[in-house]
């Protein structure tokens, strides 16, 4: 069972927005975009600081729309959201210890999308390190340890997580040594997630039920983005708002998000609050070299969704 109820009204709007997007961007093929959109009707069960118990939260019905939401897509830096949650789980259970370096790396991984910080985080949660290739026996042990992240997501029992593979570091130039071997000859073991799985994970964080309400709140603090132009200009290209979902929002909106982009994908996953409107969650993945370069597609979709929210 997917975590939201398919809704005819949202389906109609979602399909209209997709049609408008294809009309506006003719090079965007129908199989180069995936989208999951969840609307929180009042009383909204999210961003309450975890006022609901996990059971009450998961039983609270929400409605949504998804297009290719179950398709496995390379997530780029959106995977850092998955690693953020595992760190919090490990800290809560005492499997990892908090430290200044861990806090610094967590912040840099989410706020600045640092790959170097992510490398440390993956080492900490899996007990593995990068380095030269290993002989077969030790490499089997290493792979098993690294896959603890996947085992954690499988253990949640969420249908959306069945298709997910989250065990690789994020790279500037690409993996070397044992990391390259772990990717597989044809990169068949690279990270893969879906917009539905990403949406469910973000939904649980915003609901305050990931690990604990305090830890969910600390994750929300890291994901919060400013969309004020004067603050964005300081961060240049890398601000995760301009050219992403935050780029399509009015200035008085609030957004919590994690973007990802490479030369072949451009993605964003966001929880959004517009003044006096229903809050909502939007995850949009786009694929293809042309799309990855486009700083217009994600803001276009985001603007259309924001307009639709005002008319629900």
What is the spatial distance between Cα 77 and Cα 130, in angstroms, rounded to a whole number?
19
In angstroms, the first-to-last Cα distance of the chain is 25
Q: Which of 72-81, 141-150, 222-231, 274-283 has the lowest mean pLDDT?
A: 222-231
What is the spatial distance between Cα 259 and Cα 235, in angstroms, rounded to a whole number?
14
Q: Is the pLDDT of residue 272 over 90?
A: yes
- How does pLDDT run across 10-29, given as a tens digit for each residue? 999 999 999 999 999 999 99
Whole-number pLDDT of residue 12: 98
Mean pLDDT, range 84-100, rounded to an integer: 97
Q: Which of 8-22, 150-164, 232-246, 274-288 has the lowest mean pLDDT?
A: 232-246
Q: Which are the contacts of 83, defined by CB distance < 8 A and separation ≥ 6?
A: 109, 118, 121, 122, 125, 149, 166
> pLDDT above 70 covers what percent of the chain?
98
Q: Is the pLDDT of residue 94 over 80?
A: yes
The three-class DSSP label of residue 86 is: helix
Q: Is the pLDDT of residue 206 over 90?
A: yes
pLDDT tier at 1, thresholds 50, 70, 90: confident
Whole-number pLDDT of residue 239: 87
Burial grade of 266 (CB within 10 A; 0-12, 13-18, 19 or more): buried
- How does pLDDT run across 228-260, given as a tens digit for each residue? 887 877 666 678 999 999 999 999 999 999 999
- How does pLDDT run across 36-51, given as a tens digit for each residue? 999 999 999 999 888 8
> pLDDT above 90 covers what percent of the chain?
94
Phi then psi for 288, rounded to 5 degrees?
115, 145
């Amino acid at each position: 069972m997917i975590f939201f109820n398919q809704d005819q009204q949202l389906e109609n709007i979602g399909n209209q927005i997709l049609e408008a997007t294809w009309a506006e961007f003719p090079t965007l093929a129908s199989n180069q975009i995936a989208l999951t959109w969840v609307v929180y009707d009042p009383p909204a069960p999210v961003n309450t600081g975890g006022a609901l118990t996990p059971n009450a939260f998961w039983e609270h019905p929400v409605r949504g729309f998804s297009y290719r939401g179950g398709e496995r897509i390379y997530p780029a830096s959106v995977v850092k959201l998955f690693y953020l949650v595992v760190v919090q789980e490990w800290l809560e259970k005492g499997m990892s210890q908090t430290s200044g370096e861990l806090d610094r790396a967590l912040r840099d991984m989410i706020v600045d999308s640092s790959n170097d910080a992510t490398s440390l985080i993956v080492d900490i949660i899996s007990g593995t390190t990068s380095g030269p290739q290993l002989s077969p026996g030790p490499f089997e042990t290493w792979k098993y340890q690294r896959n603890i992240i996947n085992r954690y997501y499988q253990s949640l029992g969420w249908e959306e997580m069945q298709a997910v593979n989250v065990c690789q570091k994020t790279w500037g130039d690409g993996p070397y040594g044992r990391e390259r071997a772990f990717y597989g000859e044809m990169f068949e073991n690279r990270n893969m997630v879906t917009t539905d799985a990403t949406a469910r994970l973000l939904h649980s964080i915003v609901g305050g039920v990931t690990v604990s309400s305090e830890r969910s709140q600390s994750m929300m603090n890291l994901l919060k983005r400013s969309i004020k132009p004067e603050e964005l200009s300081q961060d240049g290209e890398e601000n995760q708002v301009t050219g992403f979902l935050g780029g399509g929002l009015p200035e008085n909106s609030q957004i919590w998000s994690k973007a990802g982009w490479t030369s072949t994908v451009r993605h964003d996953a966001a929880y959004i609050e517009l003044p006096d409107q229903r809050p909502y969650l939007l995850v949009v993945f786009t694929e293809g070299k042309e799309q990855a370069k486009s700083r217009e597609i994600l803001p276009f979709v985001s603007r259309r969704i924001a307009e639709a929210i005002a008319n629900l």
